[in-house]
Amino acid sequence: MSKNLENIKHITNGDYIVIPIETGYIKPNENLNSIINPAKEIMEDGDYLVIAETPVSVSQGRLVDESNYSPSLKAKFLTTVWSKYLWGYVFGPILGIKKRTIKNLRRLPKETYAHKEVVLQLYGLKHALKPASEAGIDLSNAPGTCVSLLPENPQKVAKQLKAEIGKNVCVMIIDTDATYKKNGKYFTGLPIAIDGIEANKGVIGYVKGQLGENMGSTPLGCSENISVEEGLKIANIAEDYQKSLATEMSTIHSVKSVLGTDESSVTIEALDSITHTPAVIIRKK
């Protein structure tokens, strides 16, 4: 029998109940107790705890200050000619990528030069050639000119968090960047994903994905050995909830509307001024 949810915020999504875990901004090198402590109280055996990748990365201190990188000619070319013009006006419309992505590409500022340099140096050309969301680097939930990289060893983190919760639950860390399906195979441009999803495909995965089926958010690591289909289903229920939030900062361009400040002027205090939902509990009804 499910615990009484009368006094706990929740919604239903088909056959599932979604219970958000709301916190302040999880700061660099801070533990994840603000997620784990309520999870311990609310979760039941068989529940899923789905955590966004960025709070995990920030808690690990995986922030990079892009102002420390001097853009090369290659980075400038990839930003302006390749991403802004070729993808924004030619490849993007031909392949039918999201109109929001095309709009964002067409207004790429010069400040993006340093971002491309970071991608080139840390992940290489195959990720830098991807026009947006390169290597899963998050620009929207980090202070100042910092960005957050993907978490280190998300599967290990998921297993550790399950052990802290101390119940028979499934902990999953996800990224909103897509997993695709083509010819019966699952793949993603992201550097990492759960077993069963071919990862680290970079721009090749992105292009191939536009010709296949977008399956939604990518499970990066999981405490259990689950099927790709189950992982994707649960990840997408979590993403559906995130998309419903007024405070969602899915891209760098949404930062200004949520926080009321320019992207490069974001402070930890500003990030901490809004309610964050870094995780949701998902329970079968």
Closest CA to 125 of 203, 206, 210, 207: 203
* Nearest-angstrom CA–CA distance, 116 and 131: 10
Residue 235's pLDDT is: 98
- CA separation (Å) from 16 to 11, 179, 220? 9, 22, 22
Confidence of residue 125 (pLDDT cuts 50, 70, 90): very high
Q: What is the pLDDT of residue 255?
A: 52
- pLDDT digit string (tens) for 138-164? 988 888 889 999 999 999 999 999 999
Residue-wise pLDDT for 224-242, tens only, equals 999 999 999 999 999 999 9
In sequence order, the 6+-apart residues with CB closer than 8 A to the CB of 45 are 167, 168, 169
Structure tokens at 184: 């019966």
Beta pairing, strands 48-52 & 16-23: unpaired
- Domain ranges across the chain: 11-63+149-284, 64-138
pTM (two decimals): 0.91
Residue 280 has pLDDT above 90, yes or no: yes
Statement: residue 248 has pLDDT above 80: no
Q: What is the pLDDT of residue 257?
A: 57
The pLDDT tens digits for 31-48 are 999 999 999 999 999 999
Q: Name the least confident of 1-10, 96-105, 177-186.
A: 1-10
pLDDT at res. 83: 97
Length of the chain: 285
User: Which parts of 14-68 are beta strand (E)?
Assistant: 16-23, 48-52, 63-65
**What pLDDT digit, counting tens, does each position of 53-94 carry?**
999 999 999 999 999 999 999 999 999 999 999 999 999 999
Per-residue model confidence as pLDDT tens digits over 173-217: 999 999 999 999 999 999 999 999 999 999 999 999 999 999 999
Question: So what's the pLDDT on residue 1?
Answer: 39
Q: One-letter amino acid identity for 29?
A: N
Separation CA 256–CA 75 (nearest Å):
25
- Using pLDDT thresholds of 50, 70 and 90, give the confidence band for residue 254: low
Q: Domain 11-63+149-284 belongs to what topology?
A: 60s Ribosomal Protein L30; Chain: A; (3.30.1330)
Q: What is the pLDDT of residue 87?
A: 97
Beta strand extents in 105-184 (DSSP E only): 146-148, 170-182
